[in-house]
Structure 1
């Protein structure tokens, strides 16, 4: 047996010697104590030396741990060395591919399983269907559906729920409903799946009908309905449902609170947002990345940047979305230097930025009219982080470069449409060199026919529209606080 990443000269502390009794139980104990991938390989090496590679329970554990460390190549190596993996092991490997971001490999592995004569069980199909959803392989999902029926597993509620979820995912409401309608037993998960499915497909009224018909409701079903109203721009109805939820003595979870925070953002109500924040603190909700980011977004859009910054500073764990939201919030409120300072802090703690991050940073450069700084961050984005520029990046560079170098543009009658066309040309050309950007801008504005220039002098220094972390555009001036 060949395992390229396990060598005989590895120093394995406290693992015993070949003369020490070492069986499957002892190996499993060591695997459960693994704290790193390096440790995992050491234990695997001992498993090989003691001839325990036949034990599929150990191999499944190795696969699960390897995938949890992001080492799917190693997990594949372990699986490939099994002569006759049982169905349970096939299932573990299929699931590992899916949750590790390789759904296509999961589908191919299922094909191999069938071709090699191994028989799937009722657990195989939900894993495969989930892979189909992740890969948007809806046609193959239908094939899996047909196979599940043929193999006699269609009566399994887990298979039915997963299949129903697939149909709603591909916006096939009728087939999703048919699956639900034919279920002999419907648990609360099935009811919640059909409600969430109708909401996702824009059928909020139908979702509410099923919600009211549910024999019993839990926090997940309440939250799904509340969030549905928030996404449908009906925040008042979301709060009405929340009041009913409290009357029914159903304790909200973090997702419920986040939905309510977003409802406050939608309403532009700072007063109500503070009440929900206070409610979350009194009920013991931690200021994690999900809730914290929603609060930062709410406070910023409701006009209290001080509260947004306080939440940001209190957070122990921040995701990329948290950093992006704070940078954007500072930028749009006029604190451009602070926005750039937050970005530099973000780099110091080794958080890798994305395209949205640099929209905020470059917009801040536009506001402070610093061409040199904009060039620095554009180069940083393309060279160090290998981020492909998007339209908003080019719009920022076009704005700041023309302001600094081509002042005559502002008096020549160039329209917003003409400027937008140049930004789109930069995007189409996929230019990443500052010099090339300058050259193209000069060429395009030089080639413009004055007869094509309208009398619209509205080309001002307005920044590009920044992406919203919550996807909502709020006019707080039209809502009460």
Structure 2
């Protein structure tokens, strides 16, 4: 620090600049000297100086020192609070950042601004529901909502998988006349894909083209993913083919798209084409191609890629790669080999690995290995509902109803409840959600009438409900009634009522589709002569004229 002389007397304007310079260079030693000099001159109470000191300490990874400055301030404005929230968030002390945010918005005269939204954003990556609600409340109360605030709120929703909220917020943004930028659109495209909100995603694509935002790798990759997730493989491929430059992420997106749509061989061809262009696959690219091999049952090809990943590209397998391989072996009926593979893993198998083995047992009978997988899962994730349901399925299909009852008793004693199935569809600019036996929708009466009509017609084609899918030891007609009101069927009936004949029916589920709904969808596609696209948690089912892209294996 240069010595001060009579012609050079730093003041409350000079010191903030000096502290900001220390923050930018992360020079904590000089920053401490300057802050000490500030205190000796009695300028540390100045708000501008304090703000700069808070930022300097935060950027230099000294959040507690930043808080001491903040705590010692006699009066604080929004900049003070934003600086402290940002300081904790920058230090990855996310709970502390949220605590300060809560303290701020609880003040009677607090006025959050764009800086507040930007400051809290890094702390909201894996947020509690009540904290997201609180941030949205603060956002709603902002009189001037700048684009940065909209983008922050959209990002919070997207990062926390509040897909419906993200799309609804974007639609509100459009209604309010707020012009989006590339970050806005790149943020909302993934939720559109997750919900199969094709019309909104398509409109975003038009906005991108109208604003001349292309070429833009971030947007083009997001568009490819969105179209693929909406079941529009052709549109995804058109975006991919139109790209003037592609990175590994671009190739991974299209490889994954083909795999999820049941075109495993084409996915493998694309992977080979990527290699031919001199691009080196990364860990995620191998997950995409291994998953594609699994979906298509390409056992030998998948084994070869797994070996090349480790031997040629020196990529250490992660749990995702092992999961793909267990799924691949399990789908091929190699249950014992899949179990042996798990036993030789270089890392501890996690819940997804054991879950893949238990899922494989769902399609191929091997009760002993299924029980080993279930036992491992209950030790790893004792509160995870889905695996108890899979074990219950396993017993039910074997007719072991006493064991089904035992599993459900364990669930009840532990307070574990089965995740209710939900199906989401888009119609116009609205997202509609259906649950099993749902009668809350304004069109419920005609939805059930339409569903009764459809079920009557497919029964005439020989449809018999797969009553074992209910997994309860109850009377057959009770099981059938339970199946007839599954959320997928309600969603399909709703769209058939409200769309023109021939319009593709797109339904997104929060669980794997059950065998009965899958069968019903195939038969409904035959009588309506239309395309039904069911997206469950595992893959995308393209159903046309009674045939599904999954080959009835999912």
Relative to the length of structure 2, the TM-score reads 0.58
- Cα distance in 2 for residues equivalent to 1:426 and 1:212: 42
- State the match for 1:418 in structure 2: 477
| Secondary structure in structure 2 of the residue aligned to 1:136 | helix
Q: CA deviation at 1:209?
A: 2.3
Specify which of 78, 90, 93 is matched with residue 120 of structure 2: 93
Q: What is the aligned length?
A: 391
- Cα distance in 2 for residues equivalent to 1:148 and 1:132: 20
- Cα distance in 2 for residues equivalent to 1:265 and 1:78: 51
| Secondary structure in structure 2 of the residue aligned to 1:210 | helix
Q: CA RMSD in A?
A: 4.4
- State the match for 2:377 in structure 1: 346
Is 1:177 aligned with 2:202?
no
- State the match for 1:270 in structure 2: 299
- Cα distance in 1 for residues equivalent to 2:187 and 2:308: 35
**Would the aligned equivalents of 1:389 and 1:427 in 2 still touch at CA under 8 Å?**
no
Distance 1:99 1:112, change over 3 A: farther
Q: CA deviation at 1:222?
A: 1.0
**Where do residues 102-141 of structure 1 align in structure 2 (5 Å cutoff)?**
102=129, 104-113=133-142, 115=143, 117=144, 120=146, 122-131=147-156, 134-137=162-165, 138-141=167-170
Q: CA deviation at 1:275?
A: 0.8
Distance 1:389 1:78, change over 3 A: closer
**Would the aligned equivalents of 1:126 and 1:163 in 2 still touch at CA under 8 Å?**
no
| Secondary structure in structure 1 of the residue aligned to 2:245 | coil
Q: CA deviation at 1:33?
A: 7.5
- State the match for 1:294 in structure 2: 324
| Secondary structure in structure 2 of the residue aligned to 1:123 | helix
Distance 1:246 1:343, change over 3 A: same
Distance 1:70 1:278, change over 3 A: farther
- State the match for 1:322 in structure 2: 353
Q: CA deviation at 1:256?
A: 2.0
Distance 1:76 1:234, change over 3 A: same
Q: CA deviation at 1:78?
A: 5.3
- State the match for 1:470 in structure 2: 538
Deviations 1:343-401 (A, max 9, x none): 3333334x234332012222344467655543332111122042138799984441xxx
Q: CA deviation at 1:301?
A: 0.5
**Would the aligned equivalents of 2:164 and 2:191 in 1 still touch at CA under 8 Å?**
no
**Would the aligned equivalents of 1:94 and 1:106 in 2 still touch at CA under 8 Å?**
no
Unaligned runs of 5+ in 1: 1-18, 35-41, 403-413, 429-463
**Where do residues 346-425 of structure 1 align in structure 2 (5 Å cutoff)?**
346-349=377-380, 351-366=381-396, 373-388=403-418, 395-398=470-473, 418=477, 420-421=479-480
- State the match for 2:333 in structure 1: 303
- Cα distance in 1 for residues equivalent to 2:280 and 2:91: 34
- Cα distance in 1 for residues equivalent to 2:96 and 2:362: 36
- Cα distance in 1 for residues equivalent to 2:353 and 2:112: 43
Deviations 1:270-328 (A, max 9, x none): 21121121122222333323222222111110122244224434263555433322223
More strand by proportion, 1 or 2?
Answer: 2
More off after superposition, 218-227 vs 97-106: 97-106
Deviations 1:38-85 (A, max 9, x none): xxxx88985665449746323223356688459956752355459555
Is 1:246 aligned with 2:275?
yes
Distance 1:68 1:394, change over 3 A: farther
- State the match for 2:284 in structure 1: 255
**Would the aligned equivalents of 1:261 and 1:295 in 2 still touch at CA under 8 Å?**
yes
| Secondary structure in structure 2 of the residue aligned to 1:342 | helix
Distance 1:157 1:388, change over 3 A: closer
Deviations 1:393-430 (A, max 9, x none): 984441xxx8xxxxxxxxxxx9xx537337659999xx
**Would the aligned equivalents of 2:227 and 2:233 in 1 still touch at CA under 8 Å?**
yes
- Cα distance in 2 for residues equivalent to 1:275 and 1:162: 36
| Secondary structure in structure 2 of the residue aligned to 1:303 | coil
Q: CA deviation at 1:242?
A: 1.3
Is 1:334 aligned with 2:360?
no
Relative to the length of structure 1, the TM-score reads 0.66
Is 1:60 aligned with 2:86?
yes
Deviations 1:124-144 (A, max 9, x none): 232233456625143431332
Unaligned runs of 5+ in 2: 1-35, 45-52, 422-466, 488-513, 519-535, 542-546
- Cα distance in 1 for residues equivalent to 2:363 and 2:155: 40
- Cα distance in 1 for residues equivalent to 2:217 and 2:540: 31
Q: CA deviation at 1:471?
A: 3.7
